[in-house]
Structure 1
């Protein structure tokens, strides 16, 4: 059975979003409608709708008369992104410290375990995805959907910065640092905030290494997402 246009648009949206966050689409890559439509096996209209939504969510850049491309954030933007993340996430963990339910703790522990396993087997896309899920879970647990929306904007940009400026050694977060955050969340809010600040600072400092990577061709990248 063929996917409906809405379902097809969501499929294309999700696949491009994941490919950007997981470093399978390099910063600066042109997202040409014809190539994407062929890769996904959908119409250009479906691709255009998905790219428009990605642009609204600031995951891709839409350029007048030039189409869409994966953003290339600058080092100056990196400072702004991490400044915003410190404001949001240090406050998040300060509020959550000592107040997480057993179910919430179990969810975070499972994410850290899965992240560590992915890191050990060299599965970079899974490691990146699980790292983001850990930070997003903290925003969900705070019970304020605005925090979640802020993280949904900041996390993809962080991933792009890492792809650009950590070179071939890109790692969003090491699993052991999330273990440290989990331990801090069992204590006082000030201690959890300090640990989050240290954690984000470690990621930001790592961006001084490496050079920007070259854009990746789109050919066949999204073939696995085609409907049978």
Structure 2
């Protein structure tokens, strides 16, 4: 999901300065074994970005697993077709201002190519910009529809985790089904986010989420790296 670019089939490169910056900071990896229906996930991140890693792991371990089965079932086909191992390059921001990208075959990082060659396991790759996702407002008027008691750190934390999960599933959908039109992919992730947020608000605060109908569109998506 990105801001300001709509489905252009162009290659995305982080640029030489960005690569040099990442080299100076150093990279670390952590292997995550989420719920059985999700692929094995290797998170690659810069030193100092542990907060983003923690939030993303919580989106997989806490948010996904506590959603109603009917919500998770919406991505059953995507998850069945997903590579057994997915590398997630976690960044604070992308220089293109996009929230994430899926990386088609041949555009992956050296890390992913090496893992695939050494293991023989089908491996996919995508990136997520965790700070940009935290700042993202997919439903800009939704705060007006929430009860006063929902203005808490708990709510802010959940929305960040849910947004990370929604962008991850969105990019995974593109990775598995590159031929599927963008409106269909975006429509599914938009409804998933809105319904999951509504479910949380009702379960936690006992009220209906007021803007479930007629919500604004999600940011446009860059379909290629």
Structure having the higher Rg: 1
More strand by percentage? 2
More helix by percentage? 1
TM-score, scaled to structure 2: 0.30
TM-score, scaled to structure 1: 0.29
